[in-house]
A and B are shown apart, each in its own frame.
Chain A
Amino acid sequence: MKINTLINKEPGYAICSIENMKIFKKLRDSFLKNLKIPHKYKKNINNARVQIAKMSKAEINRSMINFLTFNKNLSEMMINSCPKLIKDLCGKDLFIQRRAHTTINVPGNEHTKQWTHYEMISGISPFTYIFWAPLHDLDDDGGAYHIDLKTSLKIMKKEEKEGLVNGPRVLEMMGLKKPPRLKFGQAIIFNPFVLHGNIPFQSGFARIACNVRFQSCNKPLLQKNTDYLKYFRLS
């Protein structure tokens, strides 16, 4: 089945391969360069992940400040690493997230509970897509799970009848999910009506992933504007 159909219809998401690994590896190198850990651990992403897994929340937060420099071109790098697929979904003229996200999840039960949610909760346009990619192989449950569109919509309609958005029914869905084990160079692209999240995981490694949101600039916006998006033309 075509990736476009998987993302827009069922199941609402697709695992795809990064098209330009040169750019994506550069992105990972740039992340390692900006990471506040001893230089000897920066040569290998897995060594860096072990060091991050040992950090306190405060240390990670301090480290995140350094990523502001890294994040400056992150959106463009992510978009340029999958140009054909993005062009197929949205055309060449895009609104892309001004500042893409880097998320670091530390193993252990006290960490990494990103509860189940729709991307729509932030007020992005329904025409937005989310591109999520880990910076390493995912050999444990540190990834993100996605719930098929049909189920997500059924829950959304139930909540709407009750006058709720992301209420307890959604928040308590986290328990039994199993995130897929992706390889470095794979990404998940999904539409904003798909429920997703991550679960606490046990591992010696932290999980590092980047994500960016994009839409065609010919499609309407919702609440997000220049505060969140910028114009970008694919070459």
Chain B
Amino acid sequence: MTIAIINTDMNIGPFRIPGNGQNMITNNYAERNNFKVEEIIPEPFKSRSLATTQWVHKKKRLKIVILCSIHQLPLEKKRIKDLVNNMKKVEFHFALEGISGKGKRFLLDCIQEAKIFKDARIIDSQKTSWSKLYKIKNSKKY
């Protein structure tokens, strides 16, 4: 039974976290929770299916996996189905959100929450100013 951290593409929902940053976040989470990490699973660039993780699970029977965020979970129906079926007994930890759990319900709730946030509009903070943000707050457009 193995504890693993998972690295994915640096574009993680609204966040851009380079691989070494992901390693720092997940290793720090493991340390704070007294988990001894035995495996680092690199998911490929542009992949959202966690297929490598599922393949490793078949070989090594993962017990705990640590990811940076719920935004790293798949969004496509087929990929979700595969993940839930293959990894329902594995405990998932999401370091940035500070949440953990296992089973179909937990994974589907996390995916649903990620979807709600994905659908939320985001103001581009690089293209705005404090005054503009105050105007936005009072604008009927929003």
Q: Which A residues lie at the B interface, using CB under 8 A?
A: 8, 95, 98-99, 120, 123, 125-127, 153, 156-157, 159-160, 165, 191, 193, 217, 219-223, 225-227, 229-231
Contact = CB atoms under 8 A, between A and B. Distances in A.
A220 B69 contact: no
Interface of B: 13-15, 69-71, 96-98, 113-114, 116-117, 120-123, 125, 129-131, 133-134, 136-138, 142
A126 B133 contact: yes
Contacts of B138: 8
B89 to A, nearest CB: 24
B129 to A, nearest CB: 6
B130 A156 contact: yes
Contacts of B121: 219-221
A230 B131 contact: no
A193 B134 contact: yes
A215 B14 CA distance: 18
Given A120-B133, A222-B125, 15 more contacts: A95-B120, A98-B98, A99-B98, A126-B136, A156-B131, A160-B130, A191-B137, A220-B120, A220-B123, A225-B13, A225-B117, A225-B122, A226-B71, A226-B117, A231-B113
A222 B130 contact: no
A230 B142 contact: no
B123 A217 contact: no
A125 B123 contact: yes
B13 A226 contact: yes
A161 B87 CA distance: 54
Contacts of B120: 95, 217, 220-221
A222 B122 contact: yes
B137 A220 contact: no
Nearest to A95: B120
Given A191-B137, A226-B96, A217 B116 contact: yes
A22 to B, nearest CB: 27
A127 B123 CA distance: 11
12 contacts: A120-B133, A126-B134, A219-B142, A220-B120, A220-B123, A221-B14, A221-B122, A222-B125, A225-B13, A225-B15, A226-B70, A227-B96
Nearest to A125: B123
The 5 closest A-B pairs by CB, nearest first: A220-B121, A126-B137, A227-B96, A126-B133, A225-B14
A151 B122 CA distance: 28
B91 to A, nearest CB: 18
B93 to A, nearest CB: 14
Given A226-B71, A227-B69, A220 B122 contact: yes
Contacts of B13: 225-226
Contacts of B125: 123, 222-223
A95 B121 CA distance: 12
B131 A226 contact: no
A224 to B, nearest CB: 9
Nearest to A118: B130
